A and B are shown apart, each in its own frame.
Chain A
Amino acid sequence: MHRFLVKLSSSNQFRSFKNHRLLLPLLPSSKPFTSSSSVSSSPPRQSNRSGYPYSVELFRKISPLSSNSRTLGVNGRSISSEAGRESIEYDVLIVGAGPAGLSAAIRLKQLSQEKNVDLSVCVVEKGAEVGGHIISGNVFEPVALDELLPHWRQEHTPIEIPASSDKFWFLTKDRAISLPSPFDNKGNYVISLSQLVRWLGGKAEELGTEIYPGFSASEVLYDASDKLVGIATKDMGISKDGSKKENFQPGVDIKGRVTLFAEGCRGSLSERIIKKYKLREEVNAQHQTYALGIKEVWEIHESKHNPGEVVHTLGWPLEPKTYGGSFLYHMNDRQVALGLVVALNYHNPFLNPYEEFQKLKHHPAIKRILEGGTVLQYGARTLNEGGFQSIPYPVFPGGAIIGCSAGFLNVPKIKGTHTAMKSGMLAAEAAFGVLHEGINMNTYWDNLKDSWVWKELYAARNYRPAFEYGLLPGMAVSAMEHYVLKGKVPYTLKHGKADHEATNHARKCTPIEYPKPDGVFSFDVPTSLYRSNTNHDHDQPSHLRLRDPKIPEKVNFPEYAAPESRYCPARVYEYVEDEEGKPKLQINAQNCLHCKACDIKDPKQNIEWTVPEGGGGPAYSLM
């Protein structure tokens, strides 16, 4: 009986009316929008599928109101229904209401106000609320926000606590050795990204963006010339066996003249698009590498709270061959954000990142801070670690990919929010140019390469790959890069194997014994999961698809000791004994935290993460 909350702004009413598409003049006869890799140059405005098709189609749609297959929706938005699926069109469609998606929406609306042009912008978001699926450390660098909304400092925002100190510890089992901090967070703020995104969502709506939380984009729509024209939202109300329930609601097709994908790290549709248009091959980019971050927000005792304190650690509980570390940030309201990030190219299939995180909390230096506190929320999400080497060509016919779906996280800084926001802004400017001036979407790529994002990621490119050689060589190279080289070297180190290929066979590795949770500092998965407020309607087909249903029992369990039952931070994958006593994979899709670790780490890439019904998943508010 799951419901989703629809957050609508009542002040939107008048503003959206201005987007009445009937008022949009027929676009001038400048160069029509052509895709970057236009193999067949379509004649302008004649073919009804590419180039400037929408203006022509729009006028065709408006006239007949009698036919029941075409109705004018609110504000003149063209809504047509063919064969039971309604279709709604916008100028720009953005998939994902995260920092990148909302920055793009805000930038588009700013440009349309400046140039006095009407642009309809729609953002679809699979979470039940904007910010519900947002989880991040987060020490926020406001450089992109200063460009986007320069007056934010005069407003009441969730950005309140400036970073006051940067501590860096090397942990052994009992001690914490202070090292000179490689981070410099002066001018940055300790925030909850979920709260910031909610604030950005409010700003986007004020400017006239239509944001629809609770709708998951499940399919990509292409036209006859393989140009991406939009997405289709997932049908709601289908039961586990595939039949329609009494509250069945078909999905809708949402089309955009430009579509921007801002789904975050390992976005399900973005991955399909990158494969389809071969976007990595186009620029000789390497594969993307990832890490899994598991985080809790604690409310601690007043005396231990030091707002703005930023702590990073390396070493224990991870062993030298596994890249990763932890963070502890003091937010406001006596809250601290504590988490462990484990790179997913670890070798030992017996490694359980969740249990490593529980171990971390027992370290004396960490325990001291958490003593007397309570956990408020728990969550997990994968993040990009590929950096510069893994950035694909982010433009495709019909739109572009922005934010972590492309992968702009600065690994040594462990910050990706500012670069994601900037990429959204640049894509918005390019999209505006495409729609208003008839330029090519390629300008997004060119502007990206000219921006500080590129310079920053280029300078940071050699830190992470150096750890392929081990912890100490990695730290040595990092120190060199940080103090001396700063990326000004002629070589670019390459990533090792892809994360899913890096797992060794179970027989070559030693199982790891993890201590039982004590219920005070460490907890079992169900208790933690309860704190993530995650939920899905249980009566729906599992959104975690197995490409070959026999592989878990034939390969994962015998050869790799079922790593998915260990790396999943939500205990989705469990092996239970069937009637014959043989292990069988049971997928508890209802627990899923939408972290995408399974999509990344499954040794045979057999698990495909797809979107569940909109509105499901975690409900983060402090993360």
Chain B
Amino acid sequence: MNTPSLFISGGLNLPPPEIKICFCSLFFYFFSFCCYRAMKILVAVKRVVDYAVKIRVKPDKTGVDTQNVKMSMNPFCEIALEEALRIREAGFAKEVVAVSIGPSQCVDTLRTGLAMGADRGIHVETNSSFLPLTIAKILKSLAEVENPGLIFLGKQAIDDDCNQTGQMVAALLGWPQATFASKVVLDKDKHVATVDREVDGGLETLCVELPAVITTDLRLNQPRYASLPNIMKAKSKPIKKMTVQDLKVDVKSDIEILEVTEPPKRKSGVMVSSVDELIDKLRNEAHVF
């Protein structure tokens, strides 16, 4: 969908100038300041096959072999978490909550997030692998419980490359979304976020009212390493366990994966001896015309 360059001026309705502006703006400033100080950021992190690992398809073609394979936090989710931590450290938010949906090993991923600096974690335990829409529904329920001011996600997961969850969460919640963020600037007074997005044509700057959903792209930041003392402290940070039943989410999927196969091996090129042979091959073998 081609959206023209937008610059939505957000902001709340200011009272008419007849009313004592001084008092109202003071109140407004205090209110938004409080909101910021109380603002929670929810960051969704996904446990995926590590990006450096060579994957292979299971012999029964039901999916990718994830047994005995190194798993890590999705790189884009790390960037999302890093951005949330920076916003908290700048004083715009009070708490960063990391959430992960998956089997019991997701706790490892959450601990990494806690070691990076998140305040607490939520683990929605399930052994099924959900598609983006279900994840989005779960995150929507969580957002209704936690009431965050911002939801950060990675733009896509490196295992399925769906690039859908963030957008779906925003739509389900009715919140504005700024995807492929390469720069995020929060404005304390106007309660908005100015986000530079990486789009095909270049960079697009959006101003979104909070609460909003932001998905992060590669150039947003360089995620921090978790130091050993932080890893030790992370052991005592709480991780709340929940189930999909607790959140009252319908997890029935409309999509069923029939088969997963490896892409066909690239055939080596063929040298042709004349133009006629080339035309013959293009017509009869490649069926180009």
**Which residues of A pack against B, CB within 8 Å?**
1-8, 10, 12-13, 16, 73-75, 77, 79, 86, 88, 128-129, 132, 195, 210, 212, 215, 233, 236-237, 245-247, 249-250, 252, 254, 374, 376, 530-531, 533-535, 619, 621-622
Chain A residues in 8 Å Cβ range of B69 = 621
Q: Any chain A CB within 8 A of the CB of B6?
A: no
Give Cα A129 to B107, complex, Å. Answer: 15
- Listed by A's residue number, 10 A-B pairs whose Cβ atoms lie within 8 Å are A5-B72, A6-B226, A73-B229, A74-B232, A245-B222, A247-B225, A250-B227, A376-B56, A530-B54, A531-B54
Give Cα A520 to B87, complex, Å. Answer: 52
Give Cα A298 to B111, complex, Å. Answer: 34
Chain A residue at minimum C-beta to C-beta distance from B236: A74
Bits for B24-68, please: 1 = Cβ < 8 Å to A, else 0: 000000000000000000000000001011101000000000001
Chain A residue at minimum C-beta to C-beta distance from B75: A1
Give Cα A212 to B111, complex, Å. Answer: 13
Assuming A3-B75, A3-B78, A212-B228, is B233 touching A533 (CB within 8 A)? Answer: no
Chain A residue at minimum C-beta to C-beta distance from B53: A533
Chain A residues in 8 Å Cβ range of B228 = 86, 88, 212, 215, 233, 252, 254
Other-chain contact of B225, A86, A132, A249, A534 (Cβ < 8 Å): A249
Assuming A73-B232, A619-B52, A619-B53, is B227 touching A6 (CB within 8 A)? Answer: no
Other-chain contact of B232, A5, A77, A195, A535 (Cβ < 8 Å): A77
Bits for B199-236, please: 1 = Cβ < 8 Å to A, else 0: 00000000000000000001001111111110111111
Other-chain contact of B50, A73, A252, A619 (Cβ < 8 Å): A619
Cβ of B75 and Cβ of A13 under 8 Å apart? no
Other-chain contact of A8, B52, B70, B235 (Cβ < 8 Å): B235
Chain B residues in 8 Å Cβ range of A75 = 232
Give Cα A212 to B225, complex, Å. Answer: 14
Other-chain contact of A74, B70, B225, B233, B239 (Cβ < 8 Å): B233
Cβ of B224 and Cβ of A6 under 8 Å apart? no
**Which residues of B pack against A, CB within 8 Å?**
50, 52-54, 56, 68-73, 75, 78, 107-108, 111-112, 115, 218, 221-229, 231-236, 239
Cβ of A6 and Cβ of B115 under 8 Å apart? yes
**Of residues B50, B72, B225, B227, which shows the largest number of chain A Cβ atoms within 10 Å of its Cβ?**
B225
Give Cα A210 to B233, complex, Å. Answer: 13
> Which 5 pairs of residues, A with B, have the shortest CB-CB distance?
A535-B52, A621-B68, A249-B225, A236-B225, A619-B70
Cβ of A622 and Cβ of B68 under 8 Å apart? yes
Give Cα A16 to B234, complex, Å. Answer: 13
Task: Determine how close the nearest CB of chain B comes to the CB of A56; give it in whole angstroms.
Answer: 23
Q: Besides the contacts A4-B72, A86-B228, A128-B50, what 13 more A-B pairs have beta carbons closer than 8 Å? A: A1-B222, A3-B73, A5-B71, A5-B112, A10-B107, A10-B235, A12-B235, A73-B232, A86-B229, A252-B229, A533-B50, A533-B54, A621-B69
